[in-house]
Amino acid sequence: MSNDTNVDDPPEDATGTPAREDESHEQTQDQERQGDRSPLEEEGDRHDDVDDPIEEFDPESVSDDGDDDIETVEDLGSDVEVDPGVEVDEENAEDDLLGGLKIDTTEDIEVPDRLVDQVIGQDEARDIIIKAAKQRRHVMMIGSPGTGKSMLAKAMSQLLPQEDLQDVLVYHNPDDGNAPKVRTVPAGKGEQIIDAHKEEARKRNQMRSILMWIIIAIIVGYAILTASILLGILAAGIVWLIFRYTSRGTDAMVPNMIVDNGDQRTAPFEDATGAHAGALLGDVRHDPFQSGGMETPSHDRVEPGSIHKSNKGVLFVDEINTLDVRTQQKLMTAIQEGEFSITGQSERSSGAMVQTEPVPCDFVMIAAGNLDAMENMHPALRNRIKGYGYEVYMEDTIEDTPEMRRKYARFVAQEVERDGRLPHFTRDAVEELILEAKRRSGRKNHLTLHFRTLGGLVRVAGDIARSEDREFTTREDVLQAKGRSRSIEQQLADDYIERRKDYELQVAEGGVEGRVNGLAVMGEDSGIMLPVMAEIAPAQGQGQVIATGQLKEMAEESVQNVSAIIKKFSDVNLSEKDIHIQFVQAGQQGVDGDSASITVATAVISALEDIPVDQTVAMTGSLSVRGDVLPVGGVTHKIEAAAKAGCDTVIIPKANEQDVMIEDEYEEMVDIVPCSNISEVLDVALMGEPKKDSLVDRLKSITGSALDHGAVGSTSGSNPSPQ
Ligand SMILES: Nc1ncnc2c1ncn2[C@@H]1O[C@H](COP(=O)(O)OP(=O)(O)OP(=O)(O)O)[C@@H](O)[C@H]1O
What ipTM does the predicted assembly reach?
0.95
638 is catalytic: yes
251: exposed, middle or buried (Cβ count in 10 Å: 0-12, 13-18, 19+) = middle
**pLDDT over 80 (residue 148):** yes
**389-393 vs 526-538, strand pairing mode:** unpaired
Region of 546 please: left (phi>0), alpha (psi -120 to 50) or beta. Answer: beta
**How far, in Å, CA of 593 to CA of 581, rounded?**
13
**How far, in Å, CA of 226 to CA of 218, rounded?**
12
Percent of the chain exceeding pLDDT 90 equals 33
Ligand 1: distance of its center to the CA of 449 in Å? Answer: 9
Atom of ligand 1 nearest to the CA of 394: 21
Across 430-439, 537-546, 566-575, 661-670, which has the greatest mean pLDDT? Answer: 430-439
Helices (H), 622-721: 635-645, 664-667, 678-685, 695-699, 706-709
**How far, in Å, CA of 523 to CA of 168, rounded?**
45
Instruction: Label residue 207 by pLDDT band (50, 70, 90).
Output: confident
- Residue 274 CB–ligand 1 contact under 6 Å: no
CATH number for the domain whose boundaries are 85-107+397-484: 1.10.8.60
- Residue 154 CB–ligand 1 contact under 6 Å: no
Across 356-360, 502-506, 547-551, which has the greatest mean pLDDT? Answer: 356-360
18: exposed, middle or buried (Cβ count in 10 Å: 0-12, 13-18, 19+) = exposed
For residues 320, 324, 330, 332, the Cα torsion angle rounded to the nearest 10 degrees is: 30
Instruction: Label residue 290 by pLDDT band (50, 70, 90).
Output: low
- The residue whose CA has the least distance to atom 16 of ligand 1 is 148
- The residue whose CA has the least distance to atom 7 of ligand 1 is 148
Ligand 1: distance of its center to the CA of 74 in Å? Answer: 21
Ligand 1: distance of its center to the CA of 450 in Å? Answer: 8
Of 78, 79, 123, 151, best ligand 1 pocket probe by most atoms within 8 Å of the beta carbon:
151
**How far, in Å, CA of 135 to CA of 130, rounded?**
9
- Return the higher-pLDDT residue of 26 and 137: 137
Ligand 1: distance of its center to the CA of 454 in Å? Answer: 10
pLDDT at position 360: 94
Provide DSSP, 146-212. TSSHHHHHHHHHHHS-STT-EEEEEE--SS-TTS-EEEEEETTHHHHHHHHHHHHHHHHHHHHHHHH
- For 100, which DSSP code? T
**181-186 vs 166-171, strand pairing mode:** antiparallel
39: exposed, middle or buried (Cβ count in 10 Å: 0-12, 13-18, 19+) = buried
Strand partners, 516: 532
* Selection from 246, 299, 503, 270 nearest residue 365 by Cα: 270
Instruction: Label residue 507 by pLDDT band (50, 70, 90).
Output: low
Q: Exactly one of 309, 438, 638, 654 is catalytic; which is it?
A: 638
Of 82, 147, 449, best ligand 1 pocket probe by most atoms within 8 Å of the beta carbon:
147
pLDDT at position 524: 65
Alpha-carbon separation of residue 693 from 513, 570, 627 (angstroms): 19, 9, 18
- Residue 552 CB–ligand 1 contact under 6 Å: no
Please state which of the ranges 371-375, 412-416, 506-510 shows the lowest mean pLDDT. Answer: 506-510
Which helix (H) or strand (E) element contains residue 629? strand 629-630
**pLDDT over 80 (residue 651):** yes
- The residue whose CA has the least distance to atom 13 of ligand 1 is 452
Instruction: Label residue 616 by pLDDT band (50, 70, 90).
Output: very high
Ligand 1: distance of its center to the CA of 663 in Å? Answer: 26
**How far, in Å, CA of 136 to CA of 158, rounded?**
13
| 206: Cβ contacts below 8 Å, ≥ 6 apart | none
- The residue whose CA has the least distance to atom 18 of ligand 1 is 148
pLDDT at position 437: 93
**pLDDT over 70 (residue 689):** yes
Instruction: End-to-end CA distance of the chain: give it in Å, rounded.
Output: 77
pLDDT at position 390: 92
pLDDT at position 14: 33
Q: Beta strands of 39-151 (E only): which ranges?
A: 138-142
Ligand 1: distance of its center to the CA of 716 in Å? Answer: 48
Which helix (H) or strand (E) element contains residue 480? helix 475-484
- Residue 563 CB–ligand 1 contact under 6 Å: no
Counting Cα atoms < 13 Å in the Cβ hemisphere of 354 gives 32
- Residue 369 CB–ligand 1 contact under 6 Å: no
Ligand 1: distance of its center to the CA of 30 in Å? Answer: 42
Residues 658-683, buried b or exposed e (16+ Cβ, 10 A)?
ebbbbeeebeebbebbbbbbbbbbbb
- The residue whose CA has the least distance to atom 26 of ligand 1 is 145
Across 106-115, 231-240, 486-495, 560-569, which has the greatest mean pLDDT? Answer: 106-115
CATH number for the domain whose boundaries are 505-709: 3.30.230.10
* Selection from 166, 164, 165, 155 nearest residue 133 by Cα: 155
- Return the higher-pLDDT residue of 567 and 479: 479
**How far, in Å, CA of 622 to CA of 666, rounded?**
24
* Selection from 68, 48, 303 nearest residue 164 by Cα: 48
26: exposed, middle or buried (Cβ count in 10 Å: 0-12, 13-18, 19+) = exposed
Ligand 1: distance of its center to the CA of 641 in Å? Answer: 28
- Residue 145 CB–ligand 1 contact under 6 Å: yes
Ligand 1: distance of its center to the CA of 383 in Å? Answer: 26
595 is catalytic: yes
**How far, in Å, CA of 164 to CA of 189, rounded?**
13
- Residue 150 CB–ligand 1 contact under 6 Å: yes
Q: What does the domain layout of the chain look like in residue ranges? A: 85-107+397-484, 505-709
Atom of ligand 1 nearest to the CA of 122: 1
Contact, 656 vs 674, CB < 8 A? yes
- Residue 148 CB–ligand 1 contact under 6 Å: yes
**How far, in Å, CA of 174 to CA of 506, rounded?**
78
**How far, in Å, CA of 349 to CA of 662, rounded?**
60
- Residue 78 CB–ligand 1 contact under 6 Å: no
Across 174-188, 583-597, 701-715, which has the greatest mean pLDDT? Answer: 174-188
Per-residue pLDDT tens over the stretch 447-466 = 999 999 899 999 999 999 99
- Residue 149 CB–ligand 1 contact under 6 Å: yes
Chain-wide mean pLDDT for the chain? 78
**pLDDT over 50 (residue 82):** no
- Residue 146 CB–ligand 1 contact under 6 Å: yes
User: How far out from the chain centre does Cα 149 lie?
Assistant: 6
Strand partners, 203: none
pLDDT at position 709: 44
Of 451, 454, 487, best ligand 1 pocket probe by most atoms within 8 Å of the beta carbon:
451
Contact, 282 vs 359, CB < 8 A? yes
Atom of ligand 1 nearest to the CA of 318: 25
**How far, in Å, CA of 641 to CA of 643, rounded?**
5
**How far, in Å, CA of 689 to CA of 651, rounded?**
19
**pLDDT over 90 (residue 490):** no
- Return the higher-pLDDT residue of 495 and 400: 400
Per-residue pLDDT tens over the stretch 158-187 = 999 877 788 999 998 888 878 999 999 998
Contact, 411 vs 120, CB < 8 A? yes
Ligand 1: distance of its center to the CA of 114 in Å? Answer: 15
- The residue whose CA has the least distance to atom 24 of ligand 1 is 145
Atom of ligand 1 nearest to the CA of 119: 3
Atom of ligand 1 nearest to the CA of 449: 1
* Selection from 565, 559, 562, 530 nearest residue 546 by Cα: 559
- Residue 616 CB–ligand 1 contact under 6 Å: no
Instruction: Label residue 444 by pLDDT band (50, 70, 90).
Output: confident
Alpha-carbon separation of residue 56 from 137, 185, 565, 663 (angstroms): 10, 28, 53, 53
Please state which of the ranges 480-484, 635-639, 649-653 shows the lowest mean pLDDT. Answer: 480-484
pLDDT at position 54: 31
**pLDDT over 70 (residue 100):** yes
Of 80, 129, 448, 452, best ligand 1 pocket probe by most atoms within 8 Å of the beta carbon:
452
Instruction: Label residue 94 by pLDDT band (50, 70, 90).
Output: confident
pLDDT at position 489: 65
Q: What are phi and psi of 461, to 5 degrees?
A: -60, -45
Atom of ligand 1 nearest to the CA of 368: 25
Ligand 1: distance of its center to the CA of 162 in Å? Answer: 25
Which helix (H) or strand (E) element contains residue 512? strand 511-513
- Residue 269 CB–ligand 1 contact under 6 Å: no
14: exposed, middle or buried (Cβ count in 10 Å: 0-12, 13-18, 19+) = middle
Ligand 1: distance of its center to the CA of 142 in Å? Answer: 13
Is pTM beyond 0.80 here? no
Q: Exactly one of 558, 595, 624, 676 is catalytic; which is it?
A: 595
